[in-house]
Structure 1
Amino acid sequence: MTGGPNAVARMLGTLGDEWTLLIVQQALLGATRYGDFTDALPVSHSVLSARLRSLVDEDLLTRREYQTRPSRAEYPVTPRSRSLWPMLTSIWEWERTWVTEHVTPLPAMRHASCGADFSPTLTCRACDTQSTEKDVVAQWGPSGSWARSTPSTTHRRRSGERRLGAGALFPQTMSVIGDRWGFALLVAAFVGIDRFTDLQTELGAPPGTIAHRLATFTAEGILHSTGGRYRLTEKGRAFFPVLVCALEWAQRWYPDPEGPAVLLTHRGCGRRFHPALVCDQCCVRLRGSRIMTA
């Protein structure tokens, strides 16, 4: 079916939730059974049960019964969830570096191949050159538009959940990914749309919605306002690896028959930009299986 939600909207509809990314992260770290998740996360039984069902439906986890009396199941990861590691690694690095509100600081990441604590460096897969948002040109692809990139719904936050539950670990990331307008607004900022009226026109969101998201991003230091324009701060620009890794995952797993939603081109080599993460200590391209917490 053409004309419906594109890969970006489907990705946000799946991952735009306080708990989903954390459950997947724990699964990638080895959690498979219900008790593993409750031991690792401050999640209620009802929320965990609901998220596990949705993750199985979305092919991010597999349900495998290992005991029949009583019935007990484990939830191993799938290729779809394993390939989320670049996005999760980029989120961890951004929150660890830029978000000061964590009650307990997030630990560093260690690269098993070289044994060093590291920070991931974004590069162009085609030419292996370190890349920032200034090095990449974005344009809509055949299935791309603001309207088609916004999911109709995301999981509804309950009062206090963002700060007391999963959001306590990824608080500011979830103000972007966990909000159907927040992600679109930040992408718009990256492509240079910086005035309130232009954001409202391009995104098609109500004025109050745009005003609230701009106020949130300004308060969190992701955007700053000057002369009626909302520009990315250094902290906001540092979110770029999360965006491109999320986009790469979305377009791999939710291909549209019309073609990609977004086309990225690397200025340096002129080829399509596909992100790759390398260790800043040994300069070797990272693999998810070789990353651990320090």
Structure 2
Amino acid sequence: MTPRPPSVSEDVTALPRGGQNAIGVTLGLLGDEWTLLILRQALQGTRLYGDWMRALPISHAVLSGRLGRLTEFGLLERVAYQERPERHEYRLTRRGRGVWPILLGIWAWELSHVERHAEELPRMRHHGHLFEPVLVCGGCAAPVGPRDLVGGFGPSGTWERSLPSATTRRRSASAPGHLEGFFPQTTALVGNRWSCAMLGAAFQGARRFRDFERQLAAPPVVIADRLRTFAELDVMTASANGGYRLTAKGLAFFPVAVHTMEWAQRWFRSPEGPALSYRHTACGAPFRPRHTCSECAEPLRGGTIERVGQ
């Protein structure tokens, strides 16, 4: 069941008992290339409908639909700024501003691991120097990778409840190896409900075909197709023992996954409890993902990052 959108943008959304959890709701909302691009422009200061139309190769129908959905779910607020004639602008809420670590992770992954894009990706500068974001533990500030965490599903966390609804998914036609998409390979990973689930299962340790089949209850033909796509993207590869393993490129997508998880559970909550729960093995604290600067090691904030170029 898709939750009713929040009526007040700063409120946490209560999800129905036994329904889609925070992860499923968030993937259904953010697993869409146009939505990510609209939010990217909003974080750069875009507020007016016409400015989005000029900045993006987007149709009126798609832009209106995405802005409406982002407003319903509390990431944007539609505010009148002129009375005669009445005109509105779309302002980011605190919930909307909170997606910047996800977009920063996508930018860094695409810049480092995807060679071709429809537009040249800008570099980013922090306190005057080019940098890459580093994923660290919010408790002890140590760098973190997938193997540094323990945990998994919480009280509301089953694979069935974590899948985005197929009927509400809206995604662009981006495909692996093509230039149509601005975030082509990110969209291939998060713009398909089974890709999301299989990537999550791989981060939780699934390695064999039967592991994915058993955990996800997905048809074998779907699993085979997704594994083939992951291989084409060089995100997973067949291992010598007959299983599959994440490549360095696949492991590098982990910051995007954990920041999405944190944002999801910050703003959408099931009455049974969290969907996912992890601890950092080194310090034992509940894991809270944070980005730091690769050059100065300071925590990154949206307002301290400057675009260079496009």
Q: Residue 156 of structure 1: CA displacement? A: 4.1
Aligned partner letter, 2:197: A
Corresponding position of 1:4 = 19
Corresponding position of 2:59 = 44
Aligned partner letter, 2:18: G
147, 151, 159: which is aligned to 2:160?
147
112, 117, 123: which is aligned to 1:108?
123
Q: Residue 167 of structure 1: CA displacement? A: 6.0
Once superposed, what is the RMSD of the aligned Cα atoms?
1.9
Secondary structure of the residue aligned to 1:75 is: strand
Alignment of 1:270-285 (within 5 A): 270-285=284-299
Corresponding position of 1:203 = 216
Say whether the 8 Å CA contact 1:19–1:166 is kept in structure 2. no
Corresponding position of 2:131 = 118
Corresponding position of 1:35 = 50
Query: For 2:179 and 2:85, how far apart are their aligned partners in 1?
Result: 29
Q: Residue 164 of structure 1: CA displacement? A: 11
1:187 aligned to 2:233? no
Q: Residue 230 of structure 1: CA displacement? A: 1.4
Q: Residue 70 of structure 1: CA displacement? A: 4.0
Secondary structure of the residue aligned to 1:64 is: strand
Q: Structure 1: any 5+ residue segments left out of the alignment?
A: none
Corresponding position of 1:23 = 38
260, 271, 285: which is aligned to 2:274?
260
Q: Residue 281 of structure 1: CA displacement? A: 1.0
Query: For 2:205 and 2:96, how far apart are their aligned partners in 1?
Result: 32
252, 257, 264: which is aligned to 1:243?
257
Corresponding position of 1:177 = 190
Query: For 1:177 and 1:35, how far apart are their aligned partners in 2?
Result: 28
Q: Residue 263 of structure 1: CA displacement? A: 0.7
Q: Residue 18 of structure 1: CA displacement? A: 1.8
Using the TM superposition, name which of 161-170 and 278-287 deviates more: 161-170
Change (3 A) 1:190 1:273: same
Secondary structure of the residue aligned to 1:63 is: strand
Query: For 2:136 and 2:177, how far apart are their aligned partners in 1?
Result: 35
Deviation by residue 1:236-285 (Cα, 9 ceiling, x = unmatched): 00001000000000010002221111111101001111001111111110
Q: Residue 163 of structure 1: CA displacement? A: 7.9
Query: For 1:264 and 1:167, how far apart are their aligned partners in 2?
Result: 36
Corresponding position of 1:57 = 72
Secondary structure of the residue aligned to 1:293 is: strand
Query: For 1:192 and 1:165, how far apart are their aligned partners in 2?
Result: 30
Secondary structure of the residue aligned to 1:102 is: coil
Change (3 A) 1:189 1:251: same
Secondary structure of the residue aligned to 1:49 is: helix
Change (3 A) 1:83 1:156: closer
Corresponding position of 1:212 = 225
Change (3 A) 1:167 1:252: farther
Deviation by residue 1:127-184 (Cα, 9 ceiling, x = unmatched): 11111112112311111111110122243446x4558999621111111211111111
Change (3 A) 1:48 1:223: same
1:269 aligned to 2:294? no
